[in-house]
Structure 1
Amino acid sequence: MKLKLLFLLILTSKCIYSQTIEIIGKVTSISDVENIHVINNTAQAFTITDKNGEFKIPVKFNDTLIFSSIQYKLKEVVVTHQMLLNQAVLVKLDEQINELKEVVIGRILTGNLLKDINNLQGERPVNFFDVGIPGYTGKIATQSERRLSEAGGFNPSLGSSGYGLGGSIGFTPIINAITGRTKMLKNRVKLEEREVLMQKIKRNIAKDFFASNPMEEELKMDFLYFCADDVNFIKYCKNQTDFKVLIFLRVKYKQYMENRD
């Protein structure tokens, strides 16, 4: 009987050690714990935490989990036997504190009012709010967007009806449409949009992605441009959660590596 129990215990332990199990985890900290990147560096699987800091991820014994976020220090956790038995893990993250060197902004005041006034130079520039003029405070257009706006939105297929019955059309938009300059500018705006989005992904997500999807340093930018060239790049990456962007990058990673083989 004892031998049977021992055999069952050994068999159960082997199954636990070799089997992939989905565990439930929770991240705790004194600050916001939503959208923390959780990466199984061994199995190259990833997920993110919800607003409560909770997540689910498949693991095996001895896998390494990496917890990464801008506001927290990088943390690695090795999956233990106890975690597999409990099918749960609790992780506490430490805040990332960036100490800046002491700087002095502006002139140092001496306490002598007349002397300090004489030392002041220049005046605050007057803006449109000071004189009661409405001003634009929205997104500043890029150079290509300004040129496209100047080129006009004339559509040859609409004719003059695009501007209302009997309405007149400026000569410049017509010339731009005929010569193809408007189309060229539209394509340039799209290229700039892709470049800005790619740089944002590089800045916010690339480090975590390459942690679980290794690649030579000199190939990383080539891979990101490979992703940006995809016709669905804007659709799957613009205004999407980090999790959805990571899924898109993972699909492109497989394609990129297959192309290099």
Structure 2
Amino acid sequence: MKPYLLLLCILFSHIVLSQESESIEERELSAVVVNAQTDKPMESVHVINLNQVVGTITDDKGQFKITAAVNDTLYFSFLGFKSQKIRVTNDMFKFQNTKIALTELAYALEEVIVRPYQLTGYLEIDVKNLPINNAYQYSISGLSVGYEAGSKSPSAVTKVLGAIMNPADLLRNLFGKQPNQMKKLRKIKEDDQIRDLLASKFDREILTELLQIDKVDIQDILNNCNYSKSFIKTANDLQILDAISSCYEDFKVLNRQ
């Protein structure tokens, strides 16, 4: 009886290992995004695989295809609709064109008080009274990174160096303890669909999902890299991503030294 039991154990182990290998295999997943209220297909919905760091958008029939594996998390985003995360299952591969419904948000318009500029007619005086936005970032041909205008200090690298010298500093804690999440920065920047989506967002929601860090951590990282409060508050998510990436690259270089 023992040889038979041994054979059964071997066969059982082989089946289990085969199932596990199939479950983690990356395949092309097809599904449809619809409006939960009307059941109509939704076009141009952004779909991001948070694990593989790839993105796509739905076509005019609400359909999309994306590379995924079982247990990957898909993130769906569309203006005016509640963002949603879906865990990929085996059934989604077996039964193609699974319907994924997004719920429309109800926006409450708040009272807005318009304060006109108090213009005097004298250019020298009126120019001084106009608000100045110091949150611009500029790109120069030939340089791989941009720079921030306004109150960003030229001693930003020095501040990063000081952060590395202090083992308790937030930069070292975040970048040092989560290297895998920070490695996603490069992959995110290489995907055009994700970059286009981030360029239109200002809520940091997608960044927190992709990097698995809190909004407070993002703000603290940029504070430690000496970005201005104005930039942190008004920049879009793509600008924030580029700023974090620049800060992380400085950290890696200085940390090796």
Structure index of larger Rg? 1
**TM-score range relative to shorter protein:** 0.3 to 0.5
Of structures 1 and 2, the one scoring higher in RCO (CA 8 A, sep 6+) is 2
* TM-score, with structure 2 as normaliser: 0.44
